[in-house]
Amino acid sequence: MNKVKIALLGFGNVGSGVWKILSSNEEEITERAGYKVEVAKILVRDLNKNRGAEVPKNLFTTNPDEIFEDDDIKIIVEVMGGMEPAKDYMERAIKSKKHVVTANKLAIATIGDDLLNMADEEGVALRYEASVAGGIPIIHGIEECLTANKIKEIVGIINGTTNYILTKMYLENMSFNDALKEAQEKGYAEADPTSDVEGYDPLYKLRILTSLAFGERVDVNSIYREGISNIEAIDVEYAKEFGYVIKLLAIVKDVDDVLELRVHPTMIPARHPLANVNDSFNAVLIKGNAVGDLMFYGRGAGDLPTGSAVVGDVISILRNNMDLNKVVDKPNRVSKKKVNNIENAETQYYIRTTVKDVPGVLAEITTILGKNNVSVLSVIQKGKGQEYVTLVFVTHKTFEGNMMKSLEEIKELSSVQKIDNVIRVENGYKG
């Protein structure tokens, strides 16, 4: 049996997962890949750190030259995360004629096109299945299985941390802070959870999916992003009252050949297939013009699910490129679509306000909404006999620009103390 040497850049959560899978599934991987996969080197920052895995100490190095200058190492697995030095290392690997497998969503979302072009020029592969939705084969699904389709829409829960938090808030009536603390204690959230709870992580992933599905090099900074840190327990309760569940969704839609991209908390009907995706699980709904609706579901994070995607990419390279010398990775770039401004996005809205309990306040608000072509679907008032009460609205579908203009005018009403929260509502799925 032929043997191929690979190297790991990083040995944190994902890197250790890769090692565990290669070790425990060695026989199956060898049979499926056609090669015995040997980890020759592992790049780390600190040789003295306790790794918690049974790895020979001679495999660890702090010197990247030992990897990039070793012609026997054919595949580099980058599981460091972040932009630098990961970007530099991936570029160096490609220029050294080594194939690259990465789980780095930030790098792929921001410089992935440049890396792919560089890999194509050098005749090597760049694979990144693990950069989106952990162990779910969503990238392979779009790149290979759905290439005969015109994809019209992708809607997904692609961040396990925020989904865990929102699940705890919905099912156990936890506050946001308590649910976040529990997520951190269980290792689902980082000590600094900003990337997850403020929506940056799913933003990067949405950009990757958009590039694959629509062939568009969208500037990641142009995608509308909103996190879940403003979601309060009271909003979850109102969602239940209206028959909704709150999820952080990543959405891209092709509306008359114009792409609409956004990441934000969303109320969806309790019957929606994404409504019962709970805890740290991920799920992605794809609508194709030929295949119809498909749903990918599974663990979106963790050492073994993400490690599974990484090892799957290594096997894919070995199975498809027997000489390990020449690879042609051509992204599916077949269209040039415009990207819509968020003001032109059309959806429904949940609006929670605190207002004075005086006659005419509801009429004042609905007059402003109507003037801006916003129609009210439902209204709930909570509180009576108090100076201030809560008014909650759910609107019919309207344009974002109309909604934002209305809110600016409503804020100026003397009877309105504040607008507490605004959450978009998606009712489009007809399951």
**3-state secondary structure (DSSP) of residue 49:** coil
Please tell me the predicted confidence (pLDDT) of residue 321: 64
Instruction: pLDDT band for 264, please (50, 70, 90 cuts).
Output: very high
Helix locations, 11-159, DSSP H: 13-24, 26-33, 65-68, 86-95, 105-122, 138-140
* pLDDT range class, residue 84, cuts 50, 70, 90: very high
Q: Give the per-residue pLDDT at 1.
A: 65
Return the higher-pLDDT residue of 386 and 125. Answer: 125
Q: Which domains does the chain have, with CATH numbers?
A: 3-134+303-320 (3.40.50.720), 138-300 (3.30.360.10), 345-425 (3.30.70.260)
Residue 21 pLDDT > 60: yes
Average pLDDT over the chain, rounded to an integer: 91
Secondary structure in 3-state letters for 346-381: EEEEEEEEEEECCCCHHHHHHHHHHHCCCCEEEEEE
C-beta separation of 326 from 123 below 8 A:
yes
Residue 202 reports pLDDT greater than 50: yes
Predicted local distance difference test score (pLDDT) of residue 164 = 96
Instruction: Give 52's pLDDT tier (boundaries 50, 70, 90).
Output: low
β-pair partners for 266? 247, 424
How would residue 332 be classed by pLDDT, with cut points 50, 70 and 90? very low
Q: Are strands 3-9 and 73-78 parallel, antiparallel or unpaired?
A: parallel
Helix axes 160-171, 233-242, angle to 10 degrees: 70
The single-letter DSSP state of residue 396 is P
Tokens at residue 286, please? 């794809």
Residue 222 neighbours by CB distance under 10 Å:
11
Other Cβ atoms within 10 Å of 150 Cβ, number: 14
What are the pLDDT digits (tens) for 273-320?
A: 999 999 999 999 999 989 899 999 998 777 888 899 999 999 999 987
pLDDT of residue 334: 46
Confidence of residue 13 (pLDDT cuts 50, 70, 90): confident
pLDDT surpasses 50 at 138: yes
Cβ proximity of 14 and 307 under 8 Å: yes
As a whole number, mean pLDDT of residues 250-279 equals 94
Average pLDDT over residues 338-362: 93
Residue 328 has pLDDT above 50, yes or no: no
* pLDDT at position 256: 85
Q: Which helix (H) or strand (E) holds 38?
A: strand 36-43
- The band of 431, judged by pLDDT with boundaries at 50, 70 and 90, is very low
Of the candidates 353, 300, 284, the one whose C-alpha atom is nearest the C-alpha of residue 188 is: 300
Over residues 350-375, mean pLDDT: 95
Give bridge partners of residue 7 from the DSSP assignment: 41, 76
Q: Give the Cα separation of 160 and 164 in Å (integer).
A: 6
Which of 95, 86, 67, 66 shows the shortest CA–CA distance to 14? 86
Instruction: Compute the average pLDDT of residues 210-237.
Output: 92
Count how many Cα atoms sit within 13 Å of the Cα of residue 326 in the half-sphere of its side chain: 0
Please state the rounded mean pLDDT for residues 11-31: 93
Closest CA to 22 of 313, 276, 279, 225: 313
Which residues are within 8 A (CB) of 148 and not within 5 positions of it... i.e. 6 or more apart?
Answer: 290
Contact 125, 100 (CB under 8 A): yes
Q: Mind telling me the catalytic residues?
A: 205
Tell me: pLDDT of 152 over 80: yes
* Percent of the chain predicted with pLDDT > 70: 94
Query: Which residue in the block uniquely carries the two structure tokens 């979850």?
Result: 236
Q: Can you tell me the mean pLDDT for 339-346?
A: 90
With a cut of 60, say whether residue 74 has pLDDT above it: yes
Of 13 and 263, more confident: 263
Residue 333 predicted with pLDDT over 60: no
Residue 165's identity, in one-letter code, is I
User: Is 430 a residue whose pLDDT tops 70?
Assistant: no
Please report, to the nearest 10 degrees, the dihedral formed by the alpha carbons of residues 155, 161, 162, 163 taken in order. Answer: 60
Smallest CA-to-CA distance from 131 within 249, 212, 229 is with: 212
Q: What are phi and psi of 41, to 5 degrees?
A: -150, 150
Q: Which element (helix H / strand E) includes 421?
A: strand 416-425
Mean pLDDT throughout 178-191? 90
Residues 89-117, mean pLDDT to the nearest whole number: 95
45 is written with which tokens? 């920052």
More confident residue, 289 or 157: 157
